[in-house]
Structure 1
């Protein structure tokens, strides 16, 4: 079902031989359409190799509206045209924090700068948020964090599942910011006003690793 040819070093994680076959079997038996499309499920890992990760943004599960999710946490396909919801609040906080107005909804340029945009659950049935929460995807998150433990990273943990998943991340060697989820239902509970982008960049600079350009990528 899934092609693992472009995972690079992530492909060495035990998850792909031990847990993934059972998840694939469950998805084959799934009567509902699942999102994102199978070729995009591992896009977050395919875009950023372990040694290149500077920042981890951890979400919950993909958008459950067709045509919206494309494998990167919180990112929305350019031609979606619907409500931005969580991403809209992320952009609102970005403007409040850094004075940056971002219009590009696809976040692949963040990934290209070393931002791992990972969800704790990598698939979702159409129209059913957290519908695949019990498939076993969380094991992959645990192993990703274990692999990243050898290098300091900035962790932006948005929502209770993200906070729980990163409970073992050492906050003495990493930058770790835990907030509410940017969803319209919870953003006002601590996400808005948390200044994640400026605080993350300040920490990266203190480590000599350079800032992330969170705004629209410059026109070529």
Structure 2
């Protein structure tokens, strides 16, 4: 039986031994949770093409973020368990920051990115939960919060550099799979989609009528234009409860 943690919890030296080229040759079931592998089968060719192009960038001397062991991390948790979808843009381009989950950074990163600091500021204003000094959001993802970047890789130091390289087809398929899940009685599975900013709004047509929480992006350039004061966290939990689903415990451990 495939161990879904195997590719994502390697020691640092072992992680680098599994490169993008090697990943491009592996079965999907060894790259992600089994139900994600099935859902993304229609775009398997596109995914292999993207991984091959990332390998070529590395071979040409460029640093690609996040590392191979983390680039598909958003698909580590089973598709069936997703109840909140948070759509980001593309990974942080600063080496050491990107970890494969939108808005999250490595637990050791100081200071945390300003967008994440603004998310914490709104979380405190909304629910009274104090901000953390770290940016490890794995406690959210383990509860079914899918932190998915629209574009899942970036060249170090060059924000947006992998847009139009093939990721969009893969994440379109992923969002569609999340929105179209059904429960045994034939109804839709509980879901709240969180769309912060224009890029995230582009997936709204894929959501099949799912509950949506939207506002400006938490970036310092736009947070004051509608993100602050939007109370997204309490709204998400209220919408989940309306669907008969437990809310998310948004408080993160003080030390991850």
Which one of the candidate residues 126, 138, 142 is aligned to 2:172? 142
TM-score, normalised relative to structure 2: 0.80
Q: Per the alignment, in what secondary structure is the counterpart of residue 39 of structure 1? A: coil
Answer yes or no: is 1:184 the counterpart of 2:220. Answer: yes
Q: TM-score, normalization: structure 1? A: 0.92
What CA distance in whole angstroms lies between the structure 1 residues aligned with 2:250 and 2:106? 17
Give, in whole Å, the separation in 1 of the partners of 2:226 and 2:205: 18
Distance 1:15 1:132 in 2: 21
Runs of 4+ displaced beyond 3 Å: 217-220
Q: Distance in 1 between matches of 2:138 and 2:124?
A: 19
- Select 2:247's aligned residue among 190, 205, 211: 211
Q: What SS does the corresponding residue of 2:136 show, helix, strand or coil?
A: coil
Asked whether the 8 Å contact 2:104–2:137 carries over to 1, the reply is: yes
**1:33: Cα distance to partner?**
0.6
| Cα distance in 1 between the residues matched to 2:63 and 2:243 | 43
Q: Which runs of 5+ in 1 are unaligned?
A: none
Match for residue 127 of structure 1 among 157, 182, 191: 157
8 Å Cα contact 1:145-1:166 kept in structure 2? no
**Aligned residue for 1:168?**
206
Look up the match of 1:106: 136
1:27 and 2:81 aligned: no
Seen in structure 2, the aligned counterparts of structure 1 residues 188 and 196 have a Cα distance that, compared at 3 Å, is: same
Query: For residue 56 of structure 1, what is the aligned residue in structure 2?
Result: 85
Bigger-Rg structure (1/2): 2
State the Cα RMSD in Å.
1.8
Alignment size in residue pairs:
217
Query: How many angstroms apart in 1 are the aligned matches of 2:190 and 2:45?
Result: 28
Do structure 1's residue 78 and structure 2's residue 110 form an aligned pair? no
Residue deviations 1:159-179 (CA, integer Å, cap 9, x gap): 2111102323133xx210122
Unpaired runs of 5+ in structure 2?
1-19, 182-188
Aligned in 2, Cα 1:200/1:26: closer, same or farther, shift over 3 Å?
Answer: same
Where relative contact order (Cα < 8 A, 6+ residues apart) is larger, the structure is: 1
Select between 59-68 and 178-187 the one with higher mean Cα deviation.
178-187
Query: In structure 2, how many angstroms separate the alpha carbons of the residues matched to 1:53 and 1:112?
Result: 9
Give the Cα–Cα distance (whole angstroms) in 2 for the partners of residues 88 and 140 of structure 1.
Answer: 29
Describe the superposition over 1:125-179 as per-residue Cα deviations: whole angstroms up to 9, x where unpaired.
11111100011101112111221222230001112111102323133xx210122
Q: Is the 8 A contact 1:158 1:181 kept in 2?
A: yes
Greater Cα offset, 162-171 or 110-119: 162-171
TM-fit CA distance, 1:219 = 8.4
Deviation at 1:25, TM superposition (A): 2.5
Asked if 1:14 is matched to 2:41, the reply is: yes
After TM superposition, the structure 1 stretch with the greater mean CA deviation from structure 2, 1-10 or 102-111, is: 1-10
Alpha-carbon separation, structure 2, partners of 1:96 and 1:145: 29
Cross-structure match for 1:41: 71
